[in-house]
Amino acid sequence: MTTLALTQSLIEKASVTPEDEGCQPLMMERLTAAGFDCTPLRFGDVDNFWAVYAGADTNYAANNKGPIMCFAGHTDVVPTGPVENWQSHPFKPEIRDGILYGRGAADMKASLAAMIVAAENFAKANPTPKGRVAFLITSDEEGPAINGTVKVLAWLADEKIKMDYCLVGEPSSTNTLGDVIKNGRRGSLGCKLTVKGIQGHIAYPHLAKNPIHLATPALTELAAEVWDQGNDSFPATTFQISNINGGTGVTNVIPGTVEIIFNFRFSTELTSTLLKERSEAILDKHGFDYDIEWNLSGEPFLTAEGSLVEATVKAIKIHTGLNTELSTAGGTSDGRFIAPYGVQVVELGPINATIHKIDECVAVDALEPLTAIYQEILVELCS
C-alpha cells in the first residue's frame, strides 16, 4: 500500500479525540508484518502503542543495543464542526486537483502513513541495522494529553527503555514541504485568577468592593511587563489574557468576584517557577484578595544541534533541494514531554496551513517525498 492509500485508510477512521477508531490496529498490523515488536498500551480511555524494530534476525535483534530513533505521533483528530460546511465529507477522503481532503489529512495522518511506509522500506533493506527504529503513537494529543505520551514515557522509563532521537510528525512546513522544521517549542503556562470583592448595589459602591476595578491595574501591569528579550532561538516571552468573566448579567449589581484566564508562552530564558513568582509579586503589590490556579502544559525545549538535526536537514536537502529553516514558533506538541528525558527532538511534517480547519488537506505530491525524507533519516541514524 502506498503512502497515499494508507493516508486515505487512516482518514476514513473517524478518530475524534480520544477515540482511535482502529487506526492503531491498522498501523500495528503493518509494523508487525515488517518485523516490529508491537506493544499496545491503554491508559484510561486512551489507546497508545510502542513498537520497535531491531533487525529481522531474531538473535541479532535480541543483541542490538544501538541507538533508538523513534517516530512519534497521534491518531486522534479534532472535531470536524458541522459536516455540511465541508466541500466533501471529512471522513470520506477525496482528491480534488491534486489535493487530498479530510479531517486529519495534515494533522497528522499523512505523517503517520509516511512513517509506516518509510519504516517498512527501511526494515526490508536493513535486516541487521546498527540502530533500532521505534514508534510511540497515542490517541490523546488533541485532548487533555494525560493518558497518552506522558504515560507511555513513564512506562518506557519503568522498562528502562530510552530513546536517543525522536521525530514528531507534526505539520511543520509553511509554504512547501520541508521548508521549516521545529527543533524546539516555547513553554506554555496557563492561569485562572479569581479576584475577590464584595457584591452590592451599583448605586451604593461604598458598601461594596468591585473586583473588576481592583484587578484592572494589576492586569495592565502584567500586560506591560517585559518578561525577557528572548534569545537566538526563541522570541520574547508573551502574556495574553484570553477570558474575563464577572457579574450577574444585569446593570445594577457590583459583582462579588471576577475570573481572569491568561497564558504565557515563554522562552528558555525563563522557567515556569520564575513566571509564577514574578506574576504573584505584581498581584500582591496591588493588595487585593485573590485565588490563583496555575496549569503548566510544558516547559520550553530546544534541540539546537546534534545528529538528529543534522540528519533531518540533510534528508530534506537531498529530497527537496531546500535549505530548511529551524524554528521554535507555534503552539505546543508532545515533544514537550519527550525532550525532558534527554532525547533529541525535531518536528517535521506537511504544510500546516489547513490544520484544525474546515476542508483540511494535504498535497498528494508531498506524500512520497515526505516518506523518502523519513526513510533517509533512518538510513542516516540507524543503518
Catalytic residue among 12, 19, 76, 140: 76
Strand partners, 48: 41, 138
Cα(202)–Cα(210) distance, integer angstroms: 9
- The DSSP call for residue 225 is -
Grid coordinates in use for 316? 530534506
Sign of the Cα torsion 265, 16, 96, 182 reads: positive
- The DSSP call for residue 341 is G
Residue 183 and residue 87 in contact, taking contact as beta carbons nearer than 8 Å: no
Q: Which of 53, 31, 51 is nearest to 40 (CA)?
A: 51
Annotate 94-124 with three-state secondary structure: EEECCEEECCCHHHHHHHHHHHHHHHHHHHH
Please count the helices (runs of H) and the strands (runs of E) in the chain.
10, 19
Grid coordinates in use for 331? 503552539
CA atoms within 13 A on the CB side of 50: 22
Determine the angle formed by the axes of helices 272-285 and 211-224, rounding to 10 degrees.
Answer: 130
Count CB-CB contacts under 10 A for residue 120: 21
- The DSSP call for residue 45 is T
Does residue 291 carry a catalytic annotation? no
Q: For 382, list phi and psi in degrees, rounded to 5.
A: -125, -15
- Residue 67's region, left for phi above 0, alpha for psi from -120 to 50, else beta, is beta
Count CB-CB contacts under 10 A for residue 323: 10
Does residue 158 carry a catalytic annotation? no
Count CB-CB contacts under 10 A for residue 11: 27
Question: Using omega within 30 degrees of 0 as the cis cutoff, is the peptide bond preceding 108 cis?
Answer: yes
Strand partners, 77: 16
Question: Using omega within 30 degrees of 0 as the cis cutoff, is the peptide bond preceding 211 cis?
Answer: no
Catalytic residue among 20, 107, 140, 141: 141
Residues known to be catalytic: 76, 141
